[in-house]
């Protein structure tokens, strides 16, 4: 009985994710061995449901979603990406910011990425990225930027990355003194 309940819950979980466009279903979820392809964070993942567990397989041929300090510096110089800092405005005043980044607090990101470009520029002081433009998210230590990346993917943005070192690594590498 417990296995039957587990089986139904697991199958329901996959259906809920599929219905919310978190995972696009490529085959109907009617058999005991269901394959669902998951495109998330620029990685192709396959979740295999075999009635007892969910197994996650990832392809390693996809580019990394993480951007190194050196890569971020190059992107800022070339202006080939929009860098969005998702920290709160007081954090930028307190600690500093990466020159060339646009501040959009994480709590406002979902709405901000759905604004018209002129509204975005007026509210946040930078150009709004298109859904096909490369976006790099940053924060203090990489936690909120990862959440921001997931939010952007859920809104249809396809070329999203994040700087996992965040402001802490940036300040350390740039030898910027921050208040403690």
The catalytic residues are 139
CA 92 to chain centre: 21
List, in sequence order, every residue forming a beta bridge with 45; answer none if it has no partner. Answer: 38, 58
Q: By the 8 A CB rule, do 144 and 106 touch?
A: yes
Cβ–Cβ < 8 Å for 48, 55: yes
CB atoms under 10 Å from CB of 4, counted, come to 8
Report how far Cα 2 is from the mean position of its chain's Cα atoms. Answer: 36
Closest to 170 in 3D by CA, of 88, 65, 86, 68: 68
Is residue 83 within a helix (H) or strand (E), and if so which, with residue range? strand 82-85
């Amino acid at each position: 009985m417990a296995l039957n309940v587990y089986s139904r819950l697991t199958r329901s979980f996959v259906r809920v994710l599929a219905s919310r466009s978190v995972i696009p279903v490529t085959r109907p979820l009617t058999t005991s061995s269901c394959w669902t392809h998951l495109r998330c964070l620029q990685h192709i993942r396959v979740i295999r449901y075999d009635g007892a567990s969910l197994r996650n397989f990832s392809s390693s041929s996809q580019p990394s979603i993480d951007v190194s300090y050196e890569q971020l510096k190059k992107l800022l110089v070339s202006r080939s990406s929009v860098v969005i800092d998702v920290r709160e405005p007081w954090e930028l005043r307190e600690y500093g910011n990466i020159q060339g980044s646009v501040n959009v607090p994480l709590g406002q990101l979902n709405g901000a990425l759905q604004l018209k470009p002129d509204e975005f520029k007026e509210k946040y002081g930078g150009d709004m990225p298109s859904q096909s433009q490369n976006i790099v998210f940053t924060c203090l230590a990489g936690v909120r930027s990862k959440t921001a990346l997931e939010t952007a993917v859920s809104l249809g943005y396809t070329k999203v990355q994040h700087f996992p070192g965040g402001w802490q690594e940036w300040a350390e590498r740039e030898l910027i003194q921050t208040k403690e």
